[in-house]
Amino acid sequence: MGNLLEAHSVSKKFGDFTALNNVSIAVPKGSVFGLLGPNGAGKTTLIRVINQITMPDTGYVLLDGEALQGHHIKDIGYLPEERGLYKSMKVGEQALYLAQLKGMQKAEAKKRLLEWFERLEIGDWWNKKIQELSKGMAQKIQFVVTVLHEPKLLIFDEPFSGFDPINANLIKDEILRLKNEGATVIFSTHRMESVEELCDHIALIHKSNKILDGNLTAIKKQFKTNTYEVGINAENHSNLHHILAEKFSIAPAHFKTLGDELKLNIKLSEKEKANDLLSFLTTKGQVSHFVELIPSASDIFIQTVKNN
Amino acid sequence: MNHLPLIIKREYLTKVRNKSFIIMTILSPLIMIGLITVVAYLSQLNNNKQKTITILDESGLVKDVFEDTESINYTLLENNVTLENAKAIVIEEKNSGLLHIGKFEKIEKASDNIEFYSEDSPSISLISDLESLVEKKLTELNLQSKGVDVNMIEDAEVNIDINQENFTGEKTSKLDSFIKLAFGGASGYLLFMFIIIYGNMIMRSVIEEKTSRIIEVIISSVKPMQLMLGKIIGTSLAGITQFIIWIILGGVLLTIVSLIFGIDLMQIQSPQQEMIQQATQSSDLNTQVEMGLIAIKNLPILNLIIAFLLFFISGYFLYSSLYAAVGAAVDSETDTQQFLFPIMMPLILAVYVGFFTVIEDPHGTVSTIFSFIPFTSPVVMLMRIPFGVPIWQQILSLLILIGTFILTVWFAAKIYRVGILMYGKKPSYKEIVKWIKY
């Protein structure tokens, strides 16, 4: 499978401020691509370049192998972070208008809208004005409007903000369903747990530069430190601590258990095997806990940003 | 993809369906007509009230000139009443005032001995009426005393009303100038009002898109330039709709009101009407109407209509794109003052130049220069055209205007494009200039 979207060395300056410096990303077809980075890193600018809202100073973007053009607007669905709807317009009318701006025929748009409204159980909102709806309700409409024209590429900037956990889950399921139907998703968020759940690939942007990108699993492998979290019951904890400290590099660990085990993080060198550690531990006491520490997206994020 | 019609349609429908827009559309003519009716009614009341002026003529020379008129009754007091008694009588009878003409030795010095006493200050027109009556009589007496035959002077007086004709042989009259003034003034003022009312509406609608945060969703689908133009055109169409309704509703209401109350609204005299009356003093009603028709026929009608459309549209677009840019630059309406000021300045200047200089001298240096400066030319040129402006001047002015208009729309679109995505603090002029380079 090729890449649906490729950005090549995109740079953008606003006056003296560099918003993007030579950023390249490749979004594989059918993937969920997490665009991560601290506030003000340049994520939104990159997304705006992809949406042809902002023109890059240098570099170019390919969608499906083609340089971005006006007609690509209908291939992209964009849910911006700063989002809203016309407050005094009726829900149905507004959704139709926005769908038509994306190049849909009115009749087709109406048909699909009714389907979506039925699925999300919001059918009776058609004639309500946005100002009569709660924020979460308006967000649902906004989501539907974003995906209605069945674009190849969906871009969500902080999609879950403003949703309660139930609706956030609903939207997450819809995103995954769209992905399974063949859409490619670019997903920008600060919520690392949703990155873990959804993303196949990530790119990390910091201070206008891309500092990390690739397949999430591969990145995790690259970041793992061969450390194991261990809980063990022995007759003499301090004695055992002493023995282990001599043999391995250890650090205190914190996790919840029922007993009062000795809790440690044990870092192995590349030569040492997990099995050897485990069999060694079994000779010293009752092992109640043995887990390989996999770096979370959050850890990777913090670590990478700090190192830069 | 061309979304312009779609955007225009939405902007138009949103404006027209807006509750406050509907209320304004219906209420404005009602209030206007109501006010006119009240004013007309009151001024009629005022006119109906008879004033009584008491005259104490101690000189005995002028008392026979005071003849009662529609609004003023004169009461003459005997010579032997003293001034103090006369005052007491006036107060007791609640008359409007007392004109006291004291004894004098020389007619030239009469003025020193003439006073008017009243409780409230009298109107200027009353005083000048009295002055002219006394003056005329005393002048006559003075002439007589110097041995001049007054009748001879009257016979010798010649009344001149210059017949105007231009080189192509069309007859014109003074009335012509007033009709031209009315046409020019009306179209210039209409443009001015239109820009202010609907320019503001455009600005508010841009701010609304910013504050409701829908703007980014929209411009991921359409070009900002298209959105801006759609907004301007849609709002203007709504404005034209509103204007047409105002005119129709106003006309109907005016007719109804004047039928019901029997108030002849035409009776309300504005200074302009007085001027027209003065201009046509000598002629009777029929010739007045005839001359009016000739005057209208004399206007360069075709030129007027074409020029009106072109200058109106270009001028309106020029200003409304600036309004849109201001809307894009700020977050809320309260922040707009600072940026609206430089927009309003040339507009107000244009109206001033139009109403003072063009009336004075439609083809003078000042009027001509301002009818070429793009930001004032729509208003000033529209006012000048009824007086006949060479076609080359009109075309040149229009070309300058259109050139500026394109430049301004481009410039406004730049500000608009950047501004709509800027939230937070109010930008300075310096920052806005920077945006143009983005």
- Asked if residue B203 lies in contact with residue B419, where contact means CB atoms within 8 angstroms, the answer is no
| B220 & B356 share domain | yes
Q: Would you say residue A181 lies in a domain?
A: yes
| A46 & A172 share domain | yes
Percent of chain A with pLDDT over 70: 100
Residue B176 confidence (pLDDT) above 50? yes
Q: B275-329: per-residue pLDDT in tens?
A: 555 555 544 556 666 666 766 666 677 888 888 888 888 889 889 988 988 888 8
Q: Which residues of A touch B438 (CB under 8 A)?
A: 14-15
Q: How far apart are CA B370 and CA B168, in angstroms?
A: 29
| B111 & B192 share domain | no
Query: What is residue A54's predicted lDDT score, i.e. its pLDDT?
Result: 86
Structural domain span for residue A260: 225-292
A74 and B CB contact within 8 Å:
yes
Query: What is residue B1's predicted lDDT score, i.e. its pLDDT?
Result: 57
Q: B19-30: per-residue pLDDT in tens?
A: 889 998 989 888
Q: Out of B217, B437, B438, whose CB is closest to A98?
A: B217
Query: What is residue B166's predicted lDDT score, i.e. its pLDDT?
Result: 66
Q: Which residues of A touch B10 (CB under 8 A)?
A: 97
Q: Is B114 left (phi over 0), alpha (psi -120 to 50) or beta?
A: beta
Q: Which residues of B touch A88 (CB under 8 A)?
A: 14, 18
How many separate domains does chain A show? 2
Query: What is residue B129's predicted lDDT score, i.e. its pLDDT?
Result: 83
| A229 & A217 share domain | no
Greatest alpha-carbon pair distance for chain A in Å reads 77
Structural domain span for residue B279: 172-227+272-437
**Residue in this structure with the two tokens 């006309």, named with its chain if needed:** B251
Q: Which two tokens stand for residue A209?
A: 């530069």
Q: Would you say residue A117 lies in a domain?
A: yes
- Answer whether B220 sits within 8 Å of A14, measured CB to CB: no
Q: How far apart are CA B241 and CA B249, in angstroms?
A: 12
Residue B269 confidence (pLDDT) above 50? no
Strands A286-292 and A209-215: unpaired
Higher-pLDDT residue of A7 and B296 is: A7
A45 and B CB contact within 8 Å:
no
Q: Would you say residue B194 lies in a domain?
A: yes
A142 and B CB contact within 8 Å:
yes
| A128 & A261 share domain | no
What are the residues whose beta carbons fall under 8 Å from the beta carbon of A25, sequence distance 6 or more?
A: A5, A6, A7, A33, A35, A46, A203, A210, A213
Strands A262-267 and A58-63: unpaired
* Segment B408-433 mean pLDDT: 78
- Answer whether A103 sits within 8 Å of B434, measured CB to CB: no
| B407 & B291 share domain | yes
Q: Would you say residue A76 lies in a domain?
A: yes
| A82 & A96 share domain | yes
| A205 & A264 share domain | no
Q: Would you say residue A269 lies in a domain?
A: yes
Q: A141-150: per-residue pLDDT in tens?
A: 999 999 999 9
| B111 & B218 share domain | no
Q: Would you say residue B238 lies in a domain?
A: no
Please provide the average confidence, as pLDDT, over all residues in chain B: 81
Q: Would you say residue B42 lies in a domain?
A: no
| A160 & A275 share domain | no
Q: Is A44 helix (H, G, I), strand (E, B) or coil?
A: helix
Q: How far apart are CA B188 and CA B377, in angstroms?
A: 10
| B139 & B184 share domain | no
Query: What is residue A307's predicted lDDT score, i.e. its pLDDT?
Result: 84
Distances in Å between the alpha carbon of B25 and those of B15, B33, B42, B256? Answer: 11, 13, 27, 18
A84 and B CB contact within 8 Å:
yes
Q: Would you say residue A308 lies in a domain?
A: no
| B192 & B132 share domain | no
Q: How far apart are CA B140 and CA B150, in angstroms?
A: 7
Q: Would you say residue B369 lies in a domain?
A: yes
Q: Which two tokens stand for residue B184?
A: 């020019």
Q: Out of B14, B214, B221, whose CB is closest to A73?
A: B221
Q: Is A141 helix (H, G, I), strand (E, B) or coil?
A: helix
Distances in Å between the alpha carbon of A33 and those of A36, A296, A307, B157? Answer: 9, 16, 23, 101
| A212 & A288 share domain | no
Which CATH number is A91's domain given?
Answer: 3.40.50.300
| B177 & B146 share domain | no
| A149 & A254 share domain | no
Strands A58-63 and A3-14: antiparallel
| A43 & A152 share domain | yes
Q: Would you say residue B320 lies in a domain?
A: yes
Nearest 10 degrees: CA dihedral of B2, B7, B8, B9? 110
Q: Would you say residue B72 lies in a domain?
A: yes
- Answer whether B216 sits within 8 Å of A82, measured CB to CB: yes
Nearest 10 degrees: CA dihedral of A194, A199, A201, A205? -30
Q: How near does any CA of chain A get to the CA of B5, in Å?
A: 11
Q: What are phi and psi of A59, to 5 degrees?
A: 85, 170
Q: Which residues of A touch B7 (CB under 8 A)?
A: 101
- Answer whether A97 sits within 8 Å of B212, measured CB to CB: no
Q: Would you say residue A305 lies in a domain?
A: no
- Answer whether B14 sits within 8 Å of A53, measured CB to CB: no
Which CATH number is A253's domain given?
Answer: 3.30.70
Q: Would you say residue A299 lies in a domain?
A: no
Confidence of residue A134 (pLDDT cuts 50, 70, 90): confident
How many separate domains does chain B show? 2
Query: What is residue B425's predicted lDDT score, i.e. its pLDDT?
Result: 66
End-to-end CA distance of chain B: 24
| A146 & A56 share domain | yes
Q: Would you say residue B221 lies in a domain?
A: yes
- Answer whether A53 sits within 8 Å of B3, measured CB to CB: no
- Asked if residue B264 lies in contact with residue B254, where contact means CB atoms within 8 angstroms, the answer is no
Please provide the average confidence, as pLDDT, over all residues in chain A: 88
Confidence of residue B139 (pLDDT cuts 50, 70, 90): confident
Q: Which residues of B touch A71 (CB under 8 A)?
A: 1
Q: Would you say residue B76 lies in a domain?
A: yes
Q: How near does any CA of chain A get to the CA of B23, in Å?
A: 16
Lowest average pLDDT, out of A40-44, A233-237, B421-425, goes to B421-425
| A131 & A254 share domain | no
Q: B13-58: per-residue pLDDT in tens?
A: 999 998 889 998 989 888 888 888 888 778 777 666 677 888 888 8
Among residues A199, A221, A243, which one ends one of the domains?
A221
Residue of B nearest to A72 (CA): B221
* Segment B183-189 mean pLDDT: 84
Q: Would you say residue A298 lies in a domain?
A: no
| A33 & A177 share domain | yes
Which CATH number is B64's domain given?
Answer: 3.40.190.10
H-run or E-run covering A228: strand A227-233
What are the residues whose beta carbons fall under 8 Å from the beta carbon of B136, sequence distance 6 or more?
A: B65
A70 and B CB contact within 8 Å:
yes
Q: Which residues of B touch A52 (CB under 8 A)?
A: 220
B3 and A CB contact within 8 Å:
yes
Q: Which two tokens stand for residue A28?
A: 């594989």
